Amino acid sequence: MWLDRETGAKCYVLSARALVIIWTCTPRYWRWIPLTDSRFTEAAELLSVCWLEILGNIGSRMLSPNSTYAAVLVFKIAEEFYQLDTVDATVNLGGSKSSREVALTRSRRRPEEEISAVLFPRTRADGWMEVELGEFFNEEGEDGNVNIRIFGKGPNWKKGLIVLGIEIRIKKSGR
């Protein structure tokens, strides 16, 4: 948890261990790798799956009221990777739902008109990459869970995603 310097709002990061990453209990599909360049001691590395699904949630009462938040995936791409072009991302709070297609790599294999709505990742100062999964408004007294889902299914197998976590932070204009 940290406080946003400009607004004083509470922000959180859900580490990879705090997320539900489908198949992480199967060493054939995922492995836990140690980290020395991060606030966390480990990250989850995708070895090979055809069904990619990552779930996270946080109680809205843990966040600042009357604030707009963004859910942001923090990750790296391994040297050897494939089929990580785009995934679907959804962020829900109560009846409010934000859905979008996000890119995990900077590959632009599809025609330009098909990717205009896709959000691409940016590289952070710490060497990790990030992409916004969605946003939500946390109203005064909101009581519920913010549910985050990243989903990419077959038929193609995927490899090389390294997940650090998902940040829940104040949405800044221009980001």
Name the residue ranges covered by the structural domains of the chain. Answer: 2-170
Identify the pLDDT of residue 38: 77
- pLDDT attached to residue 155: 82
- Where would I find the beta strands (DSSP E) of 22-174? 30-34, 42-46, 52-59, 67-82, 86-93, 96-103, 122-123, 129-138, 145-152, 159-170
Determine the topology of domain 2-170 in CATH: Jelly Rolls (2.60.120)
Give the per-residue pLDDT at 112: 47
Query: Tell me, what's the pLDDT at 111?
Result: 45
Question: What is the distance between the alpha carbons of residues 121 and 151, in angstroms, rounded to a whole number?
Answer: 16
C-alpha 29/C-alpha 49 separation (Å) is 6
The mean pLDDT values, 10 residues at a time, for the chain of 175 residues are: 89 96 94 88 95 95 93 95 91 90 74 63 93 91 86 88 97 68
User: pTM to 2 decimals?
Assistant: 0.90
What pLDDT, on a 0 to 100 scale, did the predictor assign at position 116? 57
